[in-house]
Structure 1
Amino acid sequence: MLHRVSLKAIGGQAATLVNDIATPKINHEKRSTAINSTKSTTSSIRIPLIIVALGFLLGRAVILFELLPFVIPFVAVIYKWRRSSTLLASLAVLAGGTTVGFSFAGHIAVALLLYFVLQRGITTVAKERQLVPVTVFFSVAIARYVSLLVIEGGTFYHLLTAVIEGGLAMIVTMIFFQSVPLLLETRKKISLKHEEIVCLVILLASLMTGTVGWLVFGLSVEQIVSRYIVLIFAFVGGAAIGSTVGVVTGLILSLANVANLFYMSLLAFSGLLGGLMKEGKKVSVAVGLIIATLLMAMYGDNQVPMQVSVYESLVAVFLFMATPKRWTTELSKFIPGTMEHSQEQQQYLRKIRDVTAGKVEQFSNLFLSLSKSFSLLEVNGDKTNREREVDLFLSRVTEQTCQTCMKKHHCWTKKFNETYGLMEQLMGECEKEGEVKNKQLIRSWKEHCVIDERVIDAMKKELNQHYASKQLKQQLVESRRLVADQLKGVSKVMEDFAKDIQREKKAHEQQEAQIMESIQHAGLEVDVVDVYSLDTGNIDIDITLPSNAYNEAEKIVAPILTEILDETIIVKHAETISLTGTESRITFGSTKAYIVEEGIAHAAKGGRLVSGDSYSTMEIGAGKHAIAISDGMGNGTRAHIESQETIGLLKNILRSGIEETVAIKAINSILSLRSEDEVFSTLDLAMIDLQDGMVKFLKVGSIPSYIKRGSTVKAVEAGNLPIGIIQDMDVDVVTEELKAGDILIMMSDGIYEAPMMVENQDVWMKRVIKEIETEDPQEIADVLMERVIRDSGNEIHDDMTVVVAKLDHHSPKWATISIPYEQRA
């Protein structure tokens, strides 16, 4: 019930705060609506114009002198993608076909009519998009065969021609489904796949097919446009994209006019040369086209005079040079592998990261506000609470007594203050003594009230219910305090998480250059050095080596980095980049300044298998090592379950990032509220910082721990009750500094209190630890366990656990390599 109440309160607070967070977005949404309305108006004009232009050119696109494989696929894609523009697209392709010939226009009209009939019939059966290419195939093939059958008669060749045109149309339909939306939709921060780029080039080449036969001052328009497109893609995407665009464009144009087959080689060679020379900017790419044109014109069997071909290339170069840089930059953002695309992706990811971090920070503030709101519920004046409790208590007593008394009006109207004061004194007397022993108070009450004994008896009975109600309220307060502490801890974790999200690779060009120079000076080749962090204790560097066959990264590079950065650096991760090569990417990072060597000895009471003690050693993030011992009350299975539960909760909470003190308070609240049985457990926790050697001791009902440094033994203790005894507890934190060679000894009370004849266990334990000569942690644990059992009459009177940890410097496997001081990062 307590948890349900707390959760309902959380829900109410969360709803209010979330609404507050969301309120400032209203004006932003209104502005976004207005902007979207303007964009929608512009798009409603632009898209129809593009559809008309595309349809007109595709209606003129004739390949192999008579085939029209682009018309029906274009209309089919528009029908599926933007059905309201289907009529406009149909009229556009008919207009384009009319400019070629009325017979072509008639054939297009028949094919369109057949397509719509078949599409309507198929739609009634299934609405899957996969059936569109099949519909296009049958409509184009049937229209072509019927046309040839009427004009020239039915032959196998005509049937084959119809099937080929239908197959081409089916393939073009699948291509147009990927490419047509690219020209009509506004896409931002989305990269194009290589398949989409090829499909887009096929669409552009198909459009250029519609310009076949157009001449401007004797120069072919399709040749100028095709070379211009090759220049653009070579400049933007490099040699691979440029040559691909050249081959695809030349192939499509050669289908429209066999004489253009020669230009496939010219365009492919131009794209290859231009892409290879793209580092020299536009001039170098243009020079690549001119060189390819001259070579092909001089040594190729070209039906076009060399002078005309050069002029066409010069016009394409002029258009290319006149193209605004903004256009090529925008196009580069969609082509994978370009610098602009990488920057766009990084910007997009950075924006997503910032948005995510902002949301996490908002929720962190939300949880913090919730924590404060639950804390404020407890900040009520004690005097006000006391007065309210007295009023409620006395009202319940008077309901059972004064309501049926004939002098009710006299006592509570004429003598209200006197009656209330006497009853308040009676209540206080009953709370302290359990009954009214003050004879003077009894005498005064008898003189005032005619049913004095009845009121006192009712007050005693009601007091039991009052105590139960008060205990319930106290548990509710503790539940609220538990919720507040947990919410505060979650808020801190989320705040740290938001900071980690916002961390990004900083610019370390100078340090990267110095590191590369130092490694090369040692005789190793280095391909890439990426420095992500140079923070002390959090070094993060990636280095790509041509080979790591002889473990050069650990033997040479790590020591060099250790000398450069004045911090011990080790290999965190190594991987081979490719299966065929030897190139390896190595991740280097900071190691801990100290290492912990542990030894553990454990025994159950009477030599049993189940012990009430539980222990754990674990690595916590940020270079911390935790050692914990929990002793459940009593022995056996029940004690084992309690101690295991305590250790398990501690491990999970600490690994989540919640601070140690909050974690222990949370465990105490959970265990104290979980059960009404008086089952307690102790907790001894040591948190060792492996960077500076500082150790925090958090002792809850546990016995002292000991630090041995040479021949000196120091006790560390704190006075906290065991977990689960009281619901409101303060955790005392004791901080000590460990040095290399120090030995930390933690134990349960079964070890500490075992010797019965010893009067001062602390002095005896210090003497025993001091007498142990070995420094091996496991040997110390075994010797201490054996000594305690021997001094206890060779009997194990209680569960015994001892954990020994030795702190030592971390020594790298390979020594550092000295380098000149000026080369240090």
Structure 2
Amino acid sequence: MLRKVEQIILHPFIGQVEKQQALFSSMGKALYTFIQRWGVIYMLLGFLLGRAMIIGELTPFAVPFFAVLYHLRRDRLYVAGFAILLGAFTHQLGHPMTLLGGMALFLIAQRVMEAWGKADMNYTPFAVFFVVFLSKSLVAAFTEWTGYHLMMAGVEATLSLVLTLIFVQSLPLVTVAKRTQPLKNEEIVCLIILLASVMTGTVGWIVMELSLEHILSRYAILIFAFAAGGAIGATVGVVTGIILSLSNIEAMLQMSLLAFSGLLGGLLREGKKIGVAVGLLVGTLLIGFYIGEATIWQTMNESLVAIVLFLFTPKVIFQKISSFIPGTVEHANVQQDYMKRLREVTSHKVEQFSTVFQQLSNSFTMQPTMVEEDQDRTLDLFLSQITEKTCQSCFKKEQCWERKFDDTYRLMKECYNHLHSHGEVKKTFAHGEFSRHCVKSQKVLEVMTQEFDQFKTHLMYKKKMNESRRLVAEQLSGVSQVMTNFAREIQKEGEVHHIQEQQILDAFEDIGLSIRYVDILSLEEGNVQIEISQPVCFGRDECGKIIAPLLSEIVGETITVLQKECDFFQDGYCKMKLVSAKSFKVSTGISSAAKGGGWVSGDNLNTMEVGNGKYAIAISDGMGNGERAHQESNETLTLLQQILHSGIEETVAIKSINSVLALRSSDEIFSTLDLAMIDLQTAKTRFLKIGSTPSFIKRGDECLTITAHNLPIGILHEIDVDVVTEQLKPGDLLIMMTDGLYDAPRKVENKELWMTRMISEIVTKDPQEVADLLLEKVVRYQQGHIVDDMTVVVARIDRNIPQWSTISMQGIPKIKKKPSKIS
């Protein structure tokens, strides 16, 4: 309501004033650059702090400022010291000689502390206390020594010690050119005290019947109220009023004016500079009624002058101040920019690693031309060894290898191919064309036969090495792809959802729910993630019955509770994570039996969600039966689960598993793999079958068959994975089984037709009942004999219908979501 009134009142003036602000900002920016470059700020601070006095006789500001500046900007120390003395000379109650003595004593004390190795800033407050007390005591001893003067010397020394601690916190904010960390609450208060102390130096300055201290204090209120809001504005008003009232008791009433104006100006900061200025004018009028008619116009004029200075202030100063104060929009933008740069650097680093892994994969991958060249090179090496032992001493060497090189090389290659195919040289080949071409054909064939066994061993190890290279190349390529996807996730710009979070909180408050916090992790369409904490509902299931339905209405898509933590005995609050509901859900039924009714089956299966809204069903059948087969199939599924969860594409995952199983041992270790990847958003399913039996889809009275022709995993070093894609529909039953079930009818010729008929005869739609009935039918067909391990898994695809309908509320707009990036 306040914001609407503010916009109605201030809107006609904002357009005109914004044109003047551009001119004011350029002039103020030039002045700001001049002050920073020439160090005028230190001279100005020193001059005003040299004039500053409290209770009419204490000057506790100058020596602490001089001492802290000694450590921060020693190059400006003597200029600031001269400005302090100049400021003390301009005050009728100033004590320039006392300040000079105090600064001189500090320099001496600092030299002594440097000799003792205690010259760092931690000991500066105690040094200031000592020199101030000593200088004041010496002055009192030479003028008038009384207990009162000794007490006031102790008071001023104590104030100087406290101000030194305050200046240590606040002066670096002025002297340090660049700062990256936000201001702490203590630093903000210390900075306000420093500014109020500086304003104390202007007490008694009257320009055209206007008090300069009042103008500067209200100007400071306007700046902080506009830059940081009402809380900081009120704090500046209170602290500034207290410090000024210590110097001038008549300024006590100004504290109320400054505090109220700072609060009101901060509340009206949405109206930009005009709104903050109106806040000061309203505060001045309200407090002015208590001052009296005689001075109300003077007070109003002082506020108007402060407003003019405020309008001249460049925007860069407000942005600079706001960026260091937590809770402001500028500070949030700075932090967001920092996190964005950090994400970009991290993403670039991850992409570099991905490129390195891809290059390594390419270097390990041999192209077909390279493979052919390597084979030719290997053959040439073998033939050169043969000719070295036979042809080098032959008298027909020149005739065979120079005049008839092509024929000789062709015949030698034929000999190698014959030996490679048959393992020995047959008589028909030995008396053929090669014997007519070579006068030492018998000797060449004998040497070639002797060397071939060693060469075959060499070829076997070389083949193993090439397979290892291929495995490493595939793994590196998969890791590179995962890192590339990770880099893309990092590059997604992190968003701050303050408005949407507040919108959700307001909706909950309207229906009477007490929510501790709402954290929106993602608003991507189809991938909404929100964390909410609320008081424990003691089993009323408010998260599923109220919160999730209400969020579904606000977000515009079905939201469900993914997980919840109810801490009854801790802080009395529960935490829940709500995510986008998938369009489809999968319910499964499993039935299995070991060979001969044993306890351990060689079959294993696993159902899992692998991220990105995909649901995987995998069955593996190990070679044979018993414990060994169980371990083989279990290891296959364990590797598959780990690789799929890492983000590697399923085809690469299966090839990697095959290579690992093929290379890990010389034993004949292999297992089948039947994998179905179901997309829960579209119900589109990818079937990857390696040596497995067909799968079946029961859709009403129709039964579809999914087949593929591949050898089991681990038999061949390199396999081609056939991928079959099928679009499932709501109500479909997906039936996957091992060969123990599929091959049970030994005498049936068309087993696929037989199994289709068995599935069609089952009427029930419950996945578990279908699995149990199908296994029972097969066992009955075999007259109760279980000749092999049998496993069947049945999955039913259904529309995901939420348990509770959405809660509609009028007046709450829906949250806009980002479009989905999931293909």
| Inter-partner Cα distance in structure 2 for 1:575 and 1:329 | 42
SS in 1 for 2:369: coil
User: Given that residues 95 and 105 in structure 1 are in contact (C-alpha distance below 8 angstroms), is that contact kept between their aligned partners in structure 2?
Assistant: no
Q: 1:237 aligns with which of 219, 228, 244?
A: 228
Structure 2 counterpart of 1:252? 243
Letter in 1 for 2:628: R
Gaps of 5+ in 2: 1-32, 567-571, 817-823
User: Given that residues 102 and 132 in structure 2 are in contact (C-alpha distance below 8 angstroms), is that contact kept between their aligned partners in structure 1?
Assistant: no
Structure 2 counterpart of 1:9? none
Q: 1:269 aligns with which of 260, 265, 270?
A: 260
Q: 1:620 aligns with which of 610, 618, 635?
A: 610
Displacement, 1:270? 2.2
Q: 1:102 aligns with which of 92, 96, 100?
A: 96
Letter in 2 for 1:102: P
Structure 2 counterpart of 1:705? 695
- Alignment CA distance shift 1:285-1:511 (3 Å): closer
- Alignment CA distance shift 1:682-1:103 (3 Å): same
| Inter-partner Cα distance in structure 2 for 1:230 and 1:51 | 22
SS in 2 for 1:380: helix
| Inter-partner Cα distance in structure 1 for 2:544 and 2:804 | 7
Letter in 2 for 1:247: V
| Inter-partner Cα distance in structure 2 for 1:96 and 1:720 | 95
Q: 1:680 aligns with which of 662, 670, 680?
A: 670
User: Given that residues 98 and 135 in structure 2 are in contact (C-alpha distance below 8 angstroms), is that contact kept between their aligned partners in structure 1?
Assistant: no
User: Is residue 74 from structure 1 mapped to residue 68 from structure 2 by the alignment?
Assistant: no
Map Cα deviations across residues 502-550 of structure 1 (whole Å, 9 max, x no partner).
Answer: 5459999999999999x99x99999999999887644678999999999
Displacement, 1:584? 12
Structure 1 counterpart of 2:324? 334
Q: 2:625 aligns with which of 631, 635, 654?
A: 635
Structure 2 counterpart of 1:206? 197
Displacement, 1:238? 2.4
Structure 1 counterpart of 2:660? 670
Map Cα deviations across residues 123-143 of structure 1 (whole Å, 9 max, x no partner).
Answer: x2696x645545544454555
Matches within 5 A, 1:505-520: none
Displacement, 1:758? 5.1
User: Given that residues 94 and 109 in structure 1 are in contact (C-alpha distance below 8 angstroms), is that contact kept between their aligned partners in structure 2?
Assistant: no
- Alignment CA distance shift 1:508-1:162 (3 Å): closer
Matches within 5 A, 1:497-512: 497-503=486-492
- Alignment CA distance shift 1:530-1:384 (3 Å): closer
- Alignment CA distance shift 1:565-1:305 (3 Å): closer
- Alignment CA distance shift 1:311-1:540 (3 Å): same
| Inter-partner Cα distance in structure 1 for 2:119 and 2:110 | 15
User: Given that residues 707 and 713 in structure 1 are in contact (C-alpha distance below 8 angstroms), is that contact kept between their aligned partners in structure 2?
Assistant: yes
Map Cα deviations across residues 665-707 of structure 1 (whole Å, 9 max, x no partner).
Answer: 1221222233333211211111112222222111111122222
| Inter-partner Cα distance in structure 1 for 2:782 and 2:133 | 101
- Alignment CA distance shift 1:324-1:715 (3 Å): same
Structure 2 counterpart of 1:395? 384
Map Cα deviations across residues 547-598 of structure 1 (whole Å, 9 max, x no partner).
Answer: 999988866786688789986454668999xxxxx99999875422222111
Structure 2 counterpart of 1:17? none
User: Is residue 46 from structure 1 mapped to residue 59 from structure 2 by the alignment?
Assistant: no
Structure 1 counterpart of 2:169? 178
Letter in 2 for 1:704: P
| Inter-partner Cα distance in structure 2 for 1:674 and 1:286 | 79
Displacement, 1:274? 2.3
How does the TM-score come out when normalised to structure 2? 0.79
Displacement, 1:202? 1.6
User: Is residue 653 from structure 1 mapped to residue 643 from structure 2 by the alignment?
Assistant: yes
- Alignment CA distance shift 1:110-1:148 (3 Å): farther
Displacement, 1:325? 4.0
Displacement, 1:224? 1.6
Gaps of 5+ in 1: 1-41, 577-581
Cα RMSD, aligned residues only: 4.8
Matches within 5 A, 1:698-737: 698-737=688-727
Letter in 1 for 2:743: E
Structure 2 counterpart of 1:799? 789
- Alignment CA distance shift 1:772-1:296 (3 Å): closer
SS in 1 for 2:712: coil
Displacement, 1:382? 5.5
User: Given that residues 50 and 184 in structure 1 are in contact (C-alpha distance below 8 angstroms), is that contact kept between their aligned partners in structure 2?
Assistant: no
Structure 1 counterpart of 2:27? none
Displacement, 1:213? 3.9
Map Cα deviations across residues 619-656 of structure 1 (whole Å, 9 max, x no partner).
Answer: 12222211111122233443333222221221122222
Letter in 2 for 1:51: Y
User: Is residue 466 from structure 1 mapped to residue 455 from structure 2 by the alignment?
Assistant: yes
- Alignment CA distance shift 1:283-1:741 (3 Å): closer
- Alignment CA distance shift 1:566-1:68 (3 Å): closer
Letter in 2 for 1:106: L
Letter in 1 for 2:603: D
- Alignment CA distance shift 1:780-1:448 (3 Å): closer
User: Given that residues 114 and 143 in structure 1 are in contact (C-alpha distance below 8 angstroms), is that contact kept between their aligned partners in structure 2?
Assistant: no
| Range moving further from structure 2, 733-742 or 382-391 | 382-391
Q: 2:212 aligns with which of 182, 207, 221?
A: 221
Map Cα deviations across residues 319-374 of structure 1 (whole Å, 9 max, x no partner).
Answer: 12333345434433333333444444444544544555555555555555554554
User: Given that residues 200 and 244 in structure 2 are in contact (C-alpha distance below 8 angstroms), is that contact kept between their aligned partners in structure 1?
Assistant: yes
Displacement, 1:386? 3.6
Structure 2 counterpart of 1:602? 592
Displacement, 1:246? 0.8
Letter in 1 for 2:798: D
- Alignment CA distance shift 1:271-1:617 (3 Å): same
| Range moving further from structure 2, 703-712 or 222-231 | 703-712
| Range moving further from structure 2, 202-211 or 808-817 | 808-817
- Alignment CA distance shift 1:275-1:567 (3 Å): closer
| Inter-partner Cα distance in structure 2 for 1:492 and 1:453 | 56
SS in 1 for 2:647: coil
User: Given that residues 113 and 119 in structure 2 are in contact (C-alpha distance below 8 angstroms), is that contact kept between their aligned partners in structure 1?
Assistant: no
| Inter-partner Cα distance in structure 2 for 1:672 and 1:240 | 70
User: Is residue 286 from structure 1 mapped to residue 277 from structure 2 by the alignment?
Assistant: yes
- Alignment CA distance shift 1:136-1:411 (3 Å): farther
- Alignment CA distance shift 1:163-1:349 (3 Å): same
Letter in 1 for 2:256: S
Letter in 1 for 2:100: G
- Alignment CA distance shift 1:315-1:574 (3 Å): farther
| Inter-partner Cα distance in structure 2 for 1:742 and 1:656 | 30
- Alignment CA distance shift 1:531-1:125 (3 Å): closer
| Inter-partner Cα distance in structure 2 for 1:564 and 1:230 | 40
- Alignment CA distance shift 1:585-1:764 (3 Å): closer
Letter in 1 for 2:682: D
User: Is residue 689 from structure 1 mapped to residue 698 from structure 2 by the alignment?
Assistant: no
| Inter-partner Cα distance in structure 2 for 1:759 and 1:604 | 25
User: Given that residues 229 and 267 in structure 2 are in contact (C-alpha distance below 8 angstroms), is that contact kept between their aligned partners in structure 1?
Assistant: yes
Q: 1:380 aligns with which of 369, 384, 389?
A: 369
- Alignment CA distance shift 1:255-1:769 (3 Å): same
| Inter-partner Cα distance in structure 2 for 1:514 and 1:805 | 40
Structure 2 counterpart of 1:430? 419
Matches within 5 A, 1:352-391: 352-354=342-344, 356-361=346-351, 363-364=353-354, 367-368=357-358, 370-372=360-362, 374-375=364-365, 377-380=366-369, 383-391=372-380
| Inter-partner Cα distance in structure 1 for 2:639 and 2:153 | 75
- Alignment CA distance shift 1:791-1:78 (3 Å): farther
| Inter-partner Cα distance in structure 2 for 1:564 and 1:261 | 52
User: Given that residues 601 and 625 in structure 2 are in contact (C-alpha distance below 8 angstroms), is that contact kept between their aligned partners in structure 1?
Assistant: yes
SS in 2 for 1:650: helix
User: Given that residues 94 and 108 in structure 1 are in contact (C-alpha distance below 8 angstroms), is that contact kept between their aligned partners in structure 2?
Assistant: no
User: Given that residues 278 and 285 in structure 1 are in contact (C-alpha distance below 8 angstroms), is that contact kept between their aligned partners in structure 2?
Assistant: yes
Structure 2 counterpart of 1:113? 107
| Inter-partner Cα distance in structure 2 for 1:242 and 1:346 | 25
User: Given that residues 699 and 732 in structure 2 are in contact (C-alpha distance below 8 angstroms), is that contact kept between their aligned partners in structure 1?
Assistant: yes
User: Is residue 809 from structure 1 mapped to residue 799 from structure 2 by the alignment?
Assistant: yes
Letter in 1 for 2:619: I
- Alignment CA distance shift 1:670-1:78 (3 Å): farther
